[in-house]
Amino acid sequence: MNATADAARIAALDIRYGQVGLLQLKLRSTDPGAILDELTGKVATVPQFFRQTPICLDLAELAGEPDVAEMRGVIEAIRRCGMLVVGFAEGPASAALAKAMSLPVIAGFRPQNAAPRTVAAGVPTLAPAPAPAPPPQPLPALIHAQPVRSGQRIYARDRDLIVTASVGAAAEVMADGCVHIYGALRGRAMAGVRGDAGARVFTREFHAELVGVAGVFKVFEQLPADLAGQPVQAQLDGEELRFARLG
């Protein structure tokens, strides 16, 4: 068989689930001017991190349900700050807007397990509810034994992440649980990315570009300079991200 025929048999693409981390922007206003002013200040601290960054919009804390025109103004303000809105977080206000604006609603997979219906003497009834399922066993930590190089992104879904080497500048490590880095952290580390406020970031050598826990983050210019090069842990104290030397 010749090379042309072999090439014709190769599939043009695959569709697979992937591990994708998205920044979430929780809106409390749809005023484009206010959004532009506040975002400009945040982006100015670390512009290279936010440039062309995909953003998911969370509308849950808005006082009312925005219309398409309002949302177009919001998205344009975000675009002017260098970020790209790629969808909406799941919520009551999101579905109609997403459809009108040809953007997806981004949500975790939730299987629906409805109780089966049975029929006795012509009368439909619900079958007895099944016994409660045992709580799921926690997943073991994801262990990454190689250096995380510039441009790489590692995500541990529903578990901790352990990196036994270093995390390079412009690299990114994320976990739904805690992040443990046994080498130097020179890039970005985010723990509790799905809202676990009790998660922590640990590293043996602290030179981070950005550290975050449960959506609260600080960038290089905001990180404590006296802890540079030290073994450090980061954790939330209420709404404040705090850093302390380990040991």
pTM equals 0.60
Q: What is the pLDDT of residues 94-117, one digit of tens each?
A: 888 888 999 998 865 333 333 444
Tell me how far apart the alpha carbons of residues 124 and 199 are, in angstroms, rounded to a whole number: 47
- Its domain, for residue 183, covers 142-245
Strands 210-213 and 232-237, by their bridges, are unpaired
CA distance 54 to 146: 26
**Domain final residue, candidates 106, 133, 158:** 106
pLDDT digits (tens, 9 = 90+) for 46-69: 666 677 888 889 898 888 889 999
Q: Does 100 fall in a domain?
A: yes
Q: Quick one: 160 and 98 in the same domain?
A: no
75 domain residue, yes or no:
yes
CATH number at residue 58: 3.30.70.260
**Beta-bridge partner residues of 24:** 56
Q: Indicate the range of 74-78, 127-131, 146-150, 223-227 predicted with least confidence.
A: 127-131
pLDDT, position 113: 39
Residue that wins the pLDDT comparison between 202 and 128: 202
